[in-house]
Amino acid sequence: MTATVFVDTNVLLYARDASEPIKQPLARHWLDELWARRIGRTSHQVMHEYYVAVTRKLKPGLSHADAQADIRDLMAWRPVPADQDIIEDVWWLETRFELSYWDALVVAAARAAGCDRLLTEDRQDGQNLDGLIVTNPFTTTLEELNLG
Protein backbone atom coordinates (compact mmCIF):
# COMPACT_ATOMS: atom_id res chain seq x y z
CA MET A 1 0.00 0.00 0.00
CA THR A 2 1.26 3.47 -0.87
CA ALA A 3 1.48 5.98 1.97
CA THR A 4 -0.40 9.25 1.67
CA VAL A 5 0.80 12.71 2.68
CA PHE A 6 -1.44 15.46 4.06
CA VAL A 7 -0.30 18.91 2.95
CA ASP A 8 -0.73 21.86 5.32
CA THR A 9 -1.38 25.43 4.18
CA ASN A 10 2.17 26.68 4.67
CA VAL A 11 3.57 24.24 2.10
CA LEU A 12 1.05 25.35 -0.52
CA LEU A 13 1.85 28.99 0.20
CA TYR A 14 5.62 28.57 0.03
CA ALA A 15 5.22 26.94 -3.39
CA ARG A 16 3.73 30.25 -4.59
CA ASP A 17 5.91 32.64 -2.56
CA ALA A 18 8.62 34.18 -4.75
CA SER A 19 10.01 36.01 -1.70
CA GLU A 20 11.21 32.64 -0.31
CA PRO A 21 14.06 31.59 -2.66
CA ILE A 22 15.06 28.64 -0.44
CA LYS A 23 11.65 27.30 0.57
CA GLN A 24 9.78 27.89 -2.69
CA PRO A 25 11.67 25.31 -4.80
CA LEU A 26 11.55 22.76 -1.99
CA ALA A 27 7.80 23.19 -1.57
CA ARG A 28 7.29 22.98 -5.33
CA HIS A 29 9.35 19.80 -5.54
CA TRP A 30 7.27 18.19 -2.78
CA LEU A 31 4.02 19.14 -4.48
CA ASP A 32 5.23 17.99 -7.91
CA GLU A 33 6.19 14.61 -6.45
CA LEU A 34 2.93 14.23 -4.54
CA TRP A 35 0.99 14.97 -7.73
CA ALA A 36 3.11 12.58 -9.79
CA ARG A 37 2.72 9.78 -7.24
CA ARG A 38 -0.93 10.64 -6.53
CA ILE A 39 -0.38 10.53 -2.78
CA GLY A 40 -1.26 14.11 -1.77
CA ARG A 41 -4.23 14.92 0.45
CA THR A 42 -5.59 18.07 2.08
CA SER A 43 -8.74 19.49 3.67
CA HIS A 44 -11.33 22.15 3.02
CA GLN A 45 -9.84 24.17 5.90
CA VAL A 46 -6.40 24.16 4.27
CA MET A 47 -7.85 25.17 0.91
CA HIS A 48 -9.79 28.06 2.53
CA GLU A 49 -6.69 29.27 4.38
CA TYR A 50 -4.59 28.98 1.23
CA TYR A 51 -7.06 30.94 -0.91
CA VAL A 52 -7.28 33.82 1.55
CA ALA A 53 -3.53 33.99 2.17
CA VAL A 54 -2.46 33.66 -1.46
CA THR A 55 -4.88 36.35 -2.67
CA ARG A 56 -4.70 38.80 0.26
CA LYS A 57 -1.49 38.32 2.22
CA LEU A 58 1.15 37.08 -0.21
CA LYS A 59 3.07 39.86 -1.97
CA PRO A 60 2.86 39.52 -4.87
CA GLY A 61 -0.20 37.37 -4.51
CA LEU A 62 -2.20 35.45 -7.02
CA SER A 63 -5.21 36.74 -8.87
CA HIS A 64 -8.52 35.32 -7.73
CA ALA A 65 -8.75 33.38 -10.99
CA ASP A 66 -5.33 31.77 -10.48
CA ALA A 67 -6.08 30.94 -6.85
CA GLN A 68 -9.42 29.45 -7.89
CA ALA A 69 -7.61 27.30 -10.45
CA ASP A 70 -5.30 26.03 -7.70
CA ILE A 71 -8.29 25.17 -5.52
CA ARG A 72 -9.99 23.37 -8.40
CA ASP A 73 -6.82 21.32 -8.92
CA LEU A 74 -6.63 20.47 -5.21
CA MET A 75 -10.15 19.05 -5.37
CA ALA A 76 -8.52 15.99 -7.00
CA TRP A 77 -6.94 15.27 -3.60
CA ARG A 78 -10.39 14.56 -2.13
CA PRO A 79 -10.26 17.30 0.53
CA VAL A 80 -11.66 16.37 3.92
CA PRO A 81 -14.61 18.48 5.17
CA ALA A 82 -15.03 19.27 8.87
CA ASP A 83 -17.98 17.08 9.84
CA GLN A 84 -19.15 16.02 13.31
CA ASP A 85 -16.67 13.13 13.56
CA ILE A 86 -13.79 15.44 12.65
CA ILE A 87 -14.84 18.00 15.26
CA GLU A 88 -15.06 15.32 17.96
CA ASP A 89 -11.54 14.18 17.02
CA VAL A 90 -10.35 17.82 17.10
CA TRP A 91 -11.49 18.20 20.71
CA TRP A 92 -9.76 14.96 21.69
CA LEU A 93 -6.54 15.98 19.88
CA GLU A 94 -6.51 19.41 21.53
CA THR A 95 -6.28 17.72 24.91
CA ARG A 96 -4.16 14.70 23.95
CA PHE A 97 -1.38 16.69 22.25
CA GLU A 98 -2.02 20.20 23.62
CA LEU A 99 -2.71 21.51 20.12
CA SER A 100 -4.46 24.70 19.14
CA TYR A 101 -7.93 24.19 17.71
CA TRP A 102 -6.71 25.01 14.17
CA ASP A 103 -3.71 22.66 14.37
CA ALA A 104 -5.94 19.93 15.78
CA LEU A 105 -8.33 20.45 12.85
CA VAL A 106 -5.46 19.82 10.41
CA VAL A 107 -4.37 16.71 12.30
CA ALA A 108 -7.95 15.39 12.53
CA ALA A 109 -8.44 15.87 8.78
CA ALA A 110 -5.15 14.11 8.03
CA ARG A 111 -6.20 11.20 10.23
CA ALA A 112 -9.62 11.06 8.56
CA ALA A 113 -7.93 10.97 5.16
CA GLY A 114 -5.89 7.97 6.30
CA CYS A 115 -2.59 9.79 5.87
CA ASP A 116 0.70 8.50 7.20
CA ARG A 117 2.48 11.86 7.06
CA LEU A 118 1.60 15.48 7.80
CA LEU A 119 3.70 17.84 5.69
CA THR A 120 4.12 21.06 7.67
CA GLU A 121 6.69 23.28 9.29
CA ASP A 122 4.28 24.16 12.09
CA ARG A 123 4.98 21.12 14.30
CA GLN A 124 8.13 19.32 15.42
CA ASP A 125 9.69 17.26 12.63
CA GLY A 126 9.24 13.57 13.38
CA GLN A 127 6.52 14.13 15.98
CA ASN A 128 4.24 11.09 16.17
CA LEU A 129 0.58 12.05 16.57
CA ASP A 130 -0.79 8.55 17.20
CA GLY A 131 0.59 7.17 13.93
CA LEU A 132 0.53 10.40 11.92
CA ILE A 133 4.15 11.49 11.53
CA VAL A 134 4.98 15.18 11.12
CA THR A 135 7.42 15.85 8.29
CA ASN A 136 9.10 19.21 7.73
CA PRO A 137 9.36 19.65 3.95
CA PHE A 138 12.36 21.94 4.35
CA THR A 139 14.52 19.44 6.22
CA THR A 140 13.34 16.14 4.71
CA THR A 141 12.84 14.98 1.13
CA LEU A 142 10.15 12.66 -0.14
CA GLU A 143 12.87 10.38 -1.45
CA GLU A 144 14.26 9.99 2.09
CA LEU A 145 10.88 8.77 3.32
CA ASN A 146 10.56 5.99 0.73
CA LEU A 147 6.76 6.25 0.70
CA GLY A 148 6.14 4.58 -2.62
Per-residue confidence (pLDDT) for residue 145, from 0 to 100 = 80
Domains recognised in the chain with CATH numbers = 5-138 (3.40.50.1010)
The pLDDT tens digits for 59-103 are: 889 999 999 999 999 999 999 999 999 999 999 999 999 999 999
- The backbone torsions φ and ψ at residue 36, rounded to the nearest 5 degrees and listed phi first, read -60, -40
Per-residue confidence (pLDDT) for residue 143, from 0 to 100 = 80
8 Å CB contact between 116 and 5: yes
pTM above 0.85, yes or no: yes
- Distance between CA atoms of 110 and 8, rounded to whole angstroms? 9
- Distance between CA atoms of 44 and 49, rounded to whole angstroms? 9
What value does the mean pLDDT take over residues 125-136?
Answer: 94
Q: How many CB atoms lie within 10 A of CB 119?
A: 26
Please write down the HEC assignment for all residues of 38-98.
CCEECEHHHHHHHHHHHHHHCCCCCCHHHHHHHHHHHHHHCCECCCHHHHHHHHHHHHHHC
Q: Does 148 have pLDDT greater than 70?
A: no
